[in-house]
Amino acid sequence: MLRLQSGLVKDKSYIGILNDSQNRIKSMSLIHEKLYQSADLAHINFSNYAKDLTAALFRSYGADTGRITIKIEAKDILLGTDTAVPCGLIINELLSNSLKYAFPEGRRGEIVISIVRMNEDELELMVSNDGISIPGNVDFRNTESLGLRLVTILAENQLRGKIELDRTRGTEFRIRFKETKDGKD
């Protein structure tokens, strides 16, 4: 429906909004698809999910995989839906921003998505790029960008984590959070 609606809209800013909404929906539906394909209906292999999500976003934005490379580091990480959904939406937003803004005019670069277990119940999600950084005057917690506000809300409220932004080598977001087990803290 969103694709049909965007075909009727002439204003490019509205087309972008509809496209972003469509990507958010795809991100959530991909989690459910991965769960149904899994032998364990409660957890998904996050590496496989992240690979499929990034491939879908690269297609959606027409990104050149020869120019922008993606590196996914998520060895042996299985996540329940309470954790996978917000992590997937965060990746969707940050990867979309990277593809839209970090590599203009044919610039080459790399995007890294990493999720590592810090200890028994704590994880760290990192999404970075070595392209053009988010400008220093932009406060990602207080911006008009729905995507960055969504990242902050998901990280701090839904995952109950701590989010940090490093702009020294491109843009790097790090989110540390406690993993929920079967919907419980």
Closest-CA residue to 112 (of 169, 179, 35, 43): 169
Q: Say if residues 134 and 140 touch (Cβ distance below 8 Å).
A: yes
Per the structure, the count of domains in the chain is: 1
The answer to whether residue 183 is domain-embedded is no
- Quote the pLDDT of residue 180: 76
The answer to whether residue 144 is domain-embedded is yes
The answer to whether residue 33 is domain-embedded is yes
Quote the domain boundaries for residue 143: 2-178
Q: Provide CB contacts within 8 A for 65, sequence distance 6+.
A: 58
The answer to whether residue 185 is domain-embedded is no
The answer to whether residue 81 is domain-embedded is yes
CA dihedral 7, 111, 75, 174 (to 10 degrees): -100
Q: Say if residues 111 and 68 touch (Cβ distance below 8 Å).
A: yes
The tens-digit pLDDT sequence of the chain (185 residues) is 444 444 555 556 655 665 666 666 665 566 656 655 665 656 888 898 899 889 888 988 888 889 999 999 998 899 888 898 899 999 999 999 999 999 999 899 999 999 999 998 899 999 999 999 999 999 998 888 888 999 999 999 999 999 999 999 999 999 999 987 654 44
Distance CA 93, CA 26 (A): 12
- Quote the pLDDT of residue 2: 43
Is the pTM higher than 0.75? yes
- Quote the pLDDT of residue 143: 85
CATH of the domain at 11: 3.30.565.10
The count of other CB atoms within 10 Å of the CB of residue 33 is 14
